Amino acid sequence: MAKVAIATGDGFTVNEHFGHAKFFRVYELTDTDFKFLEVRDAVAVCQQSLGHDTTRFDKIIELLSDCDALLVQKIGEGAAAYLIAKNVRVFEVSGPIDAVLQKFIADKII
């Protein structure tokens, strides 16, 4: 079993930039299926007046610390490098959440 967090603006598609995500939907994946677990509220880490603030990145890392991967539509190079250095697996994907998760399961990505 694996747990993934998805940045979504509408709850149905992977369509949110990591830095703009106000919440993450968390799913549990098995070898054959997935199920929705919960929504976790977040504070967007990129705000124009502040730029990149690694303390905000650390709060997201803590919020999602039990997840095996983070799925986002887009993430900047600096943010991606910071998360990867902290052992967070980040994937840039887009599309309907159901289809994305089915592909991850079928291709045994996580």
Tens of pLDDT, residue by residue, the chain (110 residues):
999 999 999 999 999 999 899 999 999 999 999 999 999 999 888 765 455 567 888 899 999 999 999 999 999 998 899 999 999 999 999 999 999 999 999 999 98
Question: What local confidence, expressed as pLDDT, does residue 61 receive?
Answer: 92
Q: Tell me the residue range of the domain where 97 lies.
A: 2-106
Question: What local confidence, expressed as pLDDT, does residue 60 receive?
Answer: 92
Count of domains for the chain:
1
Question: What local confidence, expressed as pLDDT, does residue 16 receive?
Answer: 95
Question: What local confidence, expressed as pLDDT, does residue 86 receive?
Answer: 93
Cβ neighbours, 10 Å, residue 99: 12
Alpha helices in 1-110, H assignment, sequence order: 54-63, 77-85, 97-106
Task: For residue 62, report the phi and psi dihedrals to the nearest 5 degrees.
Answer: -65, -45
Question: What local confidence, expressed as pLDDT, does residue 44 receive?
Answer: 82
Farthest-apart Cα atoms in the chain, separation: 44
Task: For residue 38, report the phi and psi dihedrals to the nearest 5 degrees.
Answer: -170, 170
CATH of the domain at 70: 3.30.420.130
pTM, full prediction: 0.91
